Structure 1
């Protein structure tokens, strides 16, 4: 529906609930006309194109109104004359996200029983003063993320369970004391400094703690690891924390996601992590950790993502003989930029069971929902997602990976000192999408079994000592978008057909014995393989090198369920090339720098909308 709200709606005097969301209504909301709906309890006008200023003081005369949802009307704001003398007697829920709000409405101070307040994704400036949060004493959920707030004088109320202050301009030390009732605390992407206050240890029932992307420093409080009931999700990445990693799971094994990457942490990994039997995501990248390969983590049955890149890990990649299979659930492993040496053990790859079998994403949704006793829709949000940054020629494309709905798999062992032959067993990992073994000292031939990696989209074997010919089986990789065999000792004719007709000279640079298309050097018979028919010129963002990293994302991000749609040449990482955002509140959100107090599910797959709430 479009245009203004039909006047006939306002004649339904006995109407209790009016939901006109997700239409194309426009114009000014006629607050005076709404007063005719004197029995109205729920008013939902979100996801439209309303503009102007809605008169909240007029709406307050709807004495039975308990829920007011006006989100996602980007030109809509509050009237400047919504005086404090007006009172919402029964209003419990106010959603005014993604509109044109620039200040807190005065009428909020008179909404005495307000429990759910969402003013996220607006342009509210300045500070939250003590008087500003008066009347918010009963708040259970408060979302002020993605605004322009500079400071917070006090936390509103004494019963706050979910607080989202992400992506503001908050500065100075973290306000203390924290309300003991807090279960989910999101304050990432600000300018906070100083240390984590001791009151963090007084939280009664913490679930999610996200302090990432600030300038916090000092030692990570021991209580986060040793308390009898700690958070299930801890995201402290991209700060300035130093010292050793606390003994996580010393007394509580409920930790599911731990992101401590991009800090200044040092020393060995705490062996207490072996007790984290529910741990699925562990990111310790870009620190100063010094240890051997933590083979004992292979006993964790749920571990799906292990990122140790750019630390001081060293020694051989030994696998525990006492754990069988070891790392059986692993889907992403990144050991790049360390000092690992020796031959890659075949058993490591043989144990990666989750990378061997095709995945039916819809079945996984049902499995996860059944396991946790959730609806299939909410199961998507109960678990976390991370982002994968792919470096293209002149741009970055951000891709999504859902941890428990595995649509992205990768192995990155680059920039180490591994040697010997590349194990044939890697060819058994049929769902692998990224393989990077570059900048090592591998020798021997490229295993023909790599031609079995039918899902592979990026393969980088550059800067090794590989020899022999490129196996013709590699042309079966019809989804391959990034290929780099440069700086080896390869010889013979370059295979042609399928994706191999699309790669350019830089994929083979530094292999003097190679010949045939796309190189100018012809093969010994005087005829190189004929080049393919002229193809459409690629956009400037066409990928040539693949460097990926994993970072926790704040909740409110989208998810992907689409599968195997062709997007451009190959798939161009098609299954995961998207970013989706959303906004509808759910009171409970759990898991991983991500979950879900605030969402409207939008699922996009190469422009395809495959699932909608």
Structure 2
């Protein structure tokens, strides 16, 4: 996914260069602004009319530039932002409104069409009402640059999204167009007839970008007529049904992006008119090729290795096979970026030849993740310009010695995660900013780092077999933002000096053997910490929570579960405005939870787990009342993650999404790890403590709550009917308490409830029927001798068995065991397991390299259960 990010960056850069080139034939805007000619009154009037019918879109997520505020009747319109004029006659020839989140009409009578001398137009990333009539593009006879990418069409009321169709008949008659970008207009169909019109009329095109348009009806042979002047051709994610091999021979082509077209198939046979290896390609100037995510199979065509001008190649996420040898790659003397990742049957070999120290002299980035590499590529040892190396998720074993990588003097990003390495010598490297060694077999002490690693920002060594203590040299990494040492066997005390790392955002020391107190120096005196995440779960820490954590004003996640901490409830953390996850489970926290906290406390808290402690007293009714983050149900289309991917960006702009936060929660009676935490996931777990008294009615006001666990306490009274208001609830556990009375009929309104446990209480009467209650088994009610009706064998109206029989039954089930069957999974399973954003990976690697936005929905597993 990281490669897709820099694809977009390359495209953006290309367009910036293009706009410069297009306008270079005309006067620059700076020179135009000094022109003695004022803009023409009729054109100023047209622009002001457009402004009067335009407003800021209500769907904006980022604050747009107030570009239209510079449009004022008292000024020369040539001085307005986004406007370029011809200095000879004052005509408006350039209009750039891109990325301003503007909402406007663009109908035939739009005032913009009165700018008849327009040469360059960029309306990308705005909102336009979609008309059912023609536009007016045919009036712009001089237009050479047109960017309509990323438009969002609204219906005429402006209240709903809709998909429509651009006026292709008019756009494709603009014969002077040099650059055309219609990308990111999702759902728009470009059929074969319209495409033939494009290639027939737009013969001057140098840049053509149609990404994410539906071109499934375009006949592959129609691409044979593409103009020979094309320099940049991008048909990414267009559902192309094939690609003629002669497209690779376009004489001026420098950039070719055909990524994410899964029907291209086998480059050698299936979707090409002839085997591409047999095509002559003399002196091609092709510099960039992107063919990722195409399900291509077979070996890489040999012609790729003859394209000596190539600077960037991406063939990732296909089904390519074969062996790439050093000799094959050595022909690409201009190659800067190579991505062959996620081709599991593709391997890399030195071919038994002597190392050539001039090999790939221009190489800056090599990504060979998830292939079939068994040995570290030794021919890279003198790749002096190499900045990024990713050979993660392969089969490299043993130790990597210093001499194998010491020649990579410019290396900034090194990813060797998910291999079988037992050791690596990194001492002496001074330019590394990211080192990822997760999920290997590293043994002994953590790698010793140079004290000169001032540029180090991310260090990942989790999921290994490391022992000993954290080296003191780690405290010298003053630029460090992420330190991940989780899932090892490290011991000793957590160094106090880690508090000196003022840029630290994520500290993950989970599942180790650290003992002693949590350092009170995580926060530098008189300094507000940048810390976002502190994960110390699964160690042997003791004492109290350091009160200095209250200075971590940006803290979002605090996980100190499964330690030996002995403290009272940290109500003082309520002042942290961003705290969303608080895990205290399985410690020795004790006492009552303050029920008189200010209403402003814990404004964002969505996950609170205090299970398996020694808390006592009444459940804090007012505390539940102030949890604003659990009261607001997220809209159906909201898919924001609680924790963003942590992105590592190098100085050259290349970025890698490499970090995911995770916590453990109890679901269906088992502790499991959430690798990603959604903003929509909310849970309260107060189980296995010494709470007594009634269940507060206030819990029924937490409309967004998904999981509620109050089991294994001494709660009494009746189950409040207000719990029937928890419309989003998917799991309810009130087992092993002293609850009495009937099960409220209101609980049948919980249509997403997939897990219910009311066992081992003193409930009586008829079990409610219908909806989700028809899916629950006997285990949901066992240990309530007064209950009757389905699914129990006891019919309502039968005499109550002797009390001694009840006591015997209760004694036999003192040890709680949750045995819910799949039949209880009806309408919703917590966190939509079918999308895989919950990974049940206790004790296993937990990072994922995925896009930022993920889908969340409730999966109906009733069929599977049956």
The alignment's TM-score, normalised by the length of structure 1, stands at: 0.83
Aligned residues: 551
Q: Distance in 1 between matches of 2:501 and 2:440?
A: 32
Q: Distance in 1 between matches of 2:778 and 2:838?
A: 39
Per the alignment, in what secondary structure is the counterpart of residue 77 of structure 1? strand
State the Cα distance separating 1:578 from its structure 2 match.
Answer: 3.7
Q: Distance in 2 between matches of 1:20 and 1:10?
A: 18
* Equivalence map 1:31-180=2 (5 Å): 31=302, 33-81=303-351, 83-85=354-356, 86-155=358-427, 157-178=429-450, 179-180=453-454
* Aligned residues: CA RMSD: 3.2
State the Cα distance separating 1:498 from its structure 2 match.
Answer: 0.4
2:829 to 572, 575, 580: 572
Residue in structure 2 matched with residue 249 of structure 1 by the alignment = 523
Instruction: Work out whether residues 478 and 501 of structure 2, in 8 Å CA contact, stay in contact via their aligned partners in 1.
Output: no
1:294 to 547, 570, 580: 570
Per the alignment, in what secondary structure is the counterpart of residue 306 of structure 2? coil
Deviations 1:394-418, CA, capped at 9 Å, x for gaps: x99865542xx41311100000000
Residue in structure 1 matched with residue 599 of structure 2 by the alignment = 324
Distance 1:108 1:69, change over 3 A: same
Q: Distance in 2 between matches of 1:607 and 1:92?
A: 44
Q: Distance in 2 between matches of 1:570 and 1:459?
A: 15
Q: Distance in 2 between matches of 1:23 and 1:306?
A: 43
The answer to whether the aligner puts 1:214 opposite 2:488 as a matched pair is yes
Distance 1:207 1:474, change over 3 A: same
1:19 to 268, 290, 297: 290
Larger displacement relative to structure 2 (355-364 or 140-149): 355-364
Instruction: Work out whether residues 480 and 501 of structure 2, in 8 Å CA contact, stay in contact via their aligned partners in 1.
Output: no
2:461 to 187, 190, 195: 187
Distance 1:191 1:400, change over 3 A: closer
State the Cα distance separating 1:177 from its structure 2 match.
Answer: 2.9
Q: Distance in 2 between matches of 1:181 and 1:52?
A: 38
State the Cα distance separating 1:61 from its structure 2 match.
Answer: 2.1
**Higher-RCO chain (CA-CA 8 Å, sequence separation at least 6):** 1
State the Cα distance separating 1:176 from its structure 2 match.
Answer: 1.5
State the Cα distance separating 1:234 from its structure 2 match.
Answer: 0.2
Residue in structure 2 matched with residue 539 of structure 1 by the alignment = none
The answer to whether the aligner puts 1:506 opposite 2:779 as a matched pair is yes
Instruction: Work out whether residues 428 and 449 of structure 2, in 8 Å CA contact, stay in contact via their aligned partners in 1.
Output: no
Larger displacement relative to structure 2 (91-100 or 173-182): 173-182
Larger proportion of strand: 1
Instruction: Work out whether residues 400 and 578 of structure 1, in 8 Å CA contact, stay in contact via their aligned partners in 2.
Output: no
Instruction: Work out whether residues 779 and 820 of structure 2, in 8 Å CA contact, stay in contact via their aligned partners in 1.
Output: no
State the Cα distance separating 1:84 from its structure 2 match.
Answer: 1.4
Any unmatched runs of 5+ in structure 1? 527-542, 547-566, 583-592, 609-613
Distance 1:110 1:61, change over 3 A: farther
Residue in structure 2 matched with residue 2 of structure 1 by the alignment = 265
Per the alignment, in what secondary structure is the counterpart of residue 110 of structure 1? coil
Deviations 1:526-577, CA, capped at 9 Å, x for gaps: 9xxxxxxxxxxxxxxxx8459xxxxxxxxxxxxxxxxxxxx96221225345
1:478 to 751, 756, 762: 751
Q: Distance in 1 between matches of 2:322 and 2:713?
A: 61
The alignment's TM-score, normalised by the length of structure 2, stands at: 0.60
Residue in structure 2 matched with residue 448 of structure 1 by the alignment = 721
The answer to whether the aligner puts 1:340 opposite 2:615 as a matched pair is yes
State the Cα distance separating 1:333 from its structure 2 match.
Answer: 0.4
Distance 1:29 1:418, change over 3 A: same
State the Cα distance separating 1:579 from its structure 2 match.
Answer: 2.6
2:586 to 298, 303, 310: 310
Distance 1:152 1:457, change over 3 A: same
Q: Distance in 1 between matches of 2:656 and 2:761?
A: 43
The answer to whether the aligner puts 1:360 opposite 2:635 as a matched pair is yes
Q: Distance in 2 between matches of 1:168 and 1:107?
A: 23
Q: Distance in 1 between matches of 2:742 and 2:825?
A: 29
Any unmatched runs of 5+ in structure 2? 1-263, 269-275, 800-817, 840-844, 860-866
Distance 1:379 1:18, change over 3 A: closer
Instruction: Work out whether residues 392 and 545 of structure 1, in 8 Å CA contact, stay in contact via their aligned partners in 2.
Output: yes
Distance 1:416 1:477, change over 3 A: same
2:558 to 275, 282, 286: 282
Instruction: Work out whether residues 269 and 289 of structure 1, in 8 Å CA contact, stay in contact via their aligned partners in 2.
Output: yes
